[in-house]
Amino acid sequence: MDGISFGRLLERLTHFVPRSDMMLQLDPKFLQTRMPQPTKTAVMVIGGAEDKIHGRLILQTFFQRSGGIDARIAIIPSASREPAATGGRYVAIFEEMGAKAIEIVDIREREHGSNPDWETFIEDCTGVFMTGGDQLRLCGLLADTPIMERVRMRAQLGEITLAGTSAGAAVMGHQMIAGGGSGESANRSLVDMTTGLGIIPEVLVDQHFHNRNRMARLLSAVASNMDKLAIGIDEDTCAMFENNGTFQVIGKGTVTIVDPGESSYTNYAQVGDTDPLSLHNLRLHILSHGDRYDLHKRQIISSSQI
C-alpha cells in the first residue's frame, strides 16, 4: 500500500469520517476484508488431462493465482507437436475467463528462446502455463535459454504463478522421468532419466499416474535418486506448491508421495538392468483434494495446523 501501514490508513480515515456515520463502520476487520489482497502466486504441477470444459477447477485456480482479470498469461506449448493448436486451446479458455493479456510463446527452435518480444512479455507477465506433449522436446528447446531461466527465477521468487500439465509437470524437478514402461516389477530398465528444468529441484514428478499404472516406474526412478521426494500425480489433479514450501492437492484424483528419506536399503547398484529392485523402509502417502504436505519437513500438515 505504497508504504502506508494499515494502522496509519485507519488513522487518516477516522480524521475525515465522523464516528457517528453508520454507513462507514471503520472496524479494522471490516476494512481488511474489503481491501484488495495481493495475488498469491504458486507453482502448479498438474498430472495431465485437467478439466477444460465443465468446472475447470485447476485452470480457474491458475487464472485466479495469476491475477484474475488482471492476469497477463504466457502459454508455452513447446512440448506439443502441434503447438499452435495446443496453445490456441488454452488461449480460448483464458480469454473466456477474462484474462487481460495472453501470449503464445511458441518456441520451436532453441534460438527462439532469446526472442526479445517474448522476453519482454515474460518479464511483465503474471502467469506462465506449460502445456503437455513430450517432456524431452520441452527440455531440449527451453533448457538454459534466457526465457526459461527468467521463468524459473520469477517462479522461484514468487513473482509469477507457473503451471505445467503432463509433460509440463514432468520437467519441474532437477531430475526428470523422460519415459519408461509399466505393468511389471520395479527395475532399472523400466524408467529413462534425464535432467529437467529444476523449478522445484528436490522433487521427482510422474504424471497420468494411477491412470497409466506408473507406480513401478516411479519406484524405479526413486531407486536411483534417493535424495529426492517422488510425487505421482493423477489426471485432473494438481499439487499446488506455495512459496512457504508446502503444497496442497486440488482436483479429482490423488497425489502419491514416495519418501525415501529413511530408506535402509536398495539393491540398485548390485543388480542387472531387468532384475527386480529391492527398496526397504520407504514412506508412502496418498493425498486427495484439500490435503496438504510440508516439503521441507517431509510430513503431512494436519487440518489443525492450517
Global confidence as pTM: 0.87
41-305 classified as CATH 3.40.50.880: yes
Task: Point out which residues pair with 104 in neighbouring strands.
Answer: 75
How far is it, in rounded angstroms, from Cα 231 to Cα 233?
6
pLDDT tens profile 228-265:
999 999 999 999 999 999 999 999 999 999 999 999 99
pLDDT tens readout for residues 58-95: 999 999 999 999 999 999 999 999 999 999 999 999 99
**Furthest C-alpha separation in the chain:** 82
Q: What DSSP string runs through 250-288?
A: EESS-EEEEE-TT--EE-TTTS-TTSBPPEES-EEEEE-
Identified catalytic residue from 66, 78, 166, 220: 166
Report the C-alpha gap between 87 and 78 in whole angstroms.
9
289 is catalytic: no
Mean pLDDT, rounded, of the chain:
90
Of the candidates 245, 215, 246, which has an alpha carbon nearest to the alpha carbon of residue 233?
215
Could you tell me what percent of the chain has a pLDDT over 90?
85
Give the active site residue among 184, 202, 263, 289: 184
pLDDT value at position 36? Answer: 38
**89 close to 52: Cβ distance less than 8 angstroms:** yes
The question of whether 109 is a catalytic residue gets the answer no
For CATH 3.40.50.880, the residue range(s) in the chain are 41-305
Q: Is 166 a catalytic residue?
A: yes
Which candidate in 50, 66, 80, 208 is catalytic? Answer: 208
Q: Please give the angle made by the CA atoms of 59, 50 and 72, to the nearest 5 degrees.
A: 25
User: For 137-192, how does the pLDDT look when each residue is reduced to its tens digit (9 = 90+)?
Assistant: 999 999 999 999 999 999 999 999 999 999 999 999 999 999 999 999 999 999 99
